[in-house]
Amino acid sequence: MPDTALLVIDVQDSFRHRPYWDEADLAPFLDRSQALIDGAVARNVPVLQVFHVEDQGPFSLASGHVRTLEPLRLTPDAVFHKRRHSALVGSGLEVWLNQNGIRRLIVSGIRTEQCCETTTRHASDLGYSVDYVAEATLTFAMTDAAGRRWSAAEIRARTELVLAGRFARIATVEEALAGPAIRRAA
């Protein structure tokens, strides 16, 4: 998979310092993320780590929390800092991808419906083929303006629904590591 890279988006300690942090889905997320990272390394797929940074708070570099969420283990081929939801805005990531001939992205990270989904949509619009590995994404329950509480599982399902076949292939860890699906004519 010489034209493929794995994006590990915002899997950082900063989230542990947010009021919505919930470890309910953490163990399976870490398990699937580690399997994805280890599988990418075994296949010589570059692992690109993206951190969200802000000027203040737990996402500031000065906080000391902009580091890999433990106990996840990875040695990235490159590290990028972003200040927007899309990892492709202002981080230098797109330049690196172009310089290295990358045309296919495997997306994983935190939060499912925010930075992971936004990066996926943006990458698709730029012409990249994207595998969205929902089982290697993590999010947290949210309450909408009408007062309805959406579980993390409902948010993940909604993200899969809106991305599937339009912006990405929804793939398991194993499917993403096996390579791109054969696209069928519509």
- Helix H or strand E segment including 48: strand 47-52
Question: Do 158 and 142 meet the contact criterion of CB atoms below 8 Å apart?
Answer: no
Q: What is the C-alpha to C-alpha distance for residues 3 and 17, in angstroms, rounded to an integer?
A: 36
pLDDT at 176 over 80: yes
Diameter of the chain measured on Cα atoms: 50
Q: How confident is the model at residue 35 (pLDDT cuts 50, 70, 90)?
A: very high
Q: What is the structure's pLDDT at 1? A: 65
**DSSP state letter for 116:** I
Q: Report the chain's mean pLDDT, rounded to a whole number.
A: 95
Tens digits of residue pLDDT in 138-156: 999 999 999 999 999 999 9
Q: What is the structure's pLDDT at 168? A: 97
Q: What is the structure's pLDDT at 181? A: 56
Span 76-100, mean pLDDT? 98
Spatial CA neighbour of 142 closest among 17, 51, 19: 19
Q: How confident is the model at residue 183 (pLDDT cuts 50, 70, 90)?
A: very low
SS3 state at 60: coil
Span 108-126, mean pLDDT? 97
Tens digits of residue pLDDT in 46-85: 999 999 999 999 999 999 999 999 999 999 999 999 999 9
Q: What is the C-alpha to C-alpha distance for residues 8 and 79, in angstroms, rounded to an integer?
A: 10
Is the pLDDT higher at 61 or at 183? Answer: 61
Q: What is the structure's pLDDT at 2? A: 78
Find tokens 């950082």 and name the residue: 12
Span 162-169, mean pLDDT? 97
Are β-strands 142-143 and 149-150 bridged in parallel, bridged antiparallel, or unpaired? antiparallel
Q: Which amino acid is at 139?
A: T
Q: What is the structure's pLDDT at 182? A: 44
Q: What is the C-alpha to C-alpha distance for residues 173 and 186, in angstroms, rounded to an integer?
A: 26
Residue 85 phi/psi, 5-degree rounding, is: -65, -40
Q: Go through the domains of the chain in sequence order and give each one's CATH number.
A: 4-178 (3.40.50.850)
Q: What is the structure's pLDDT at 180? A: 73
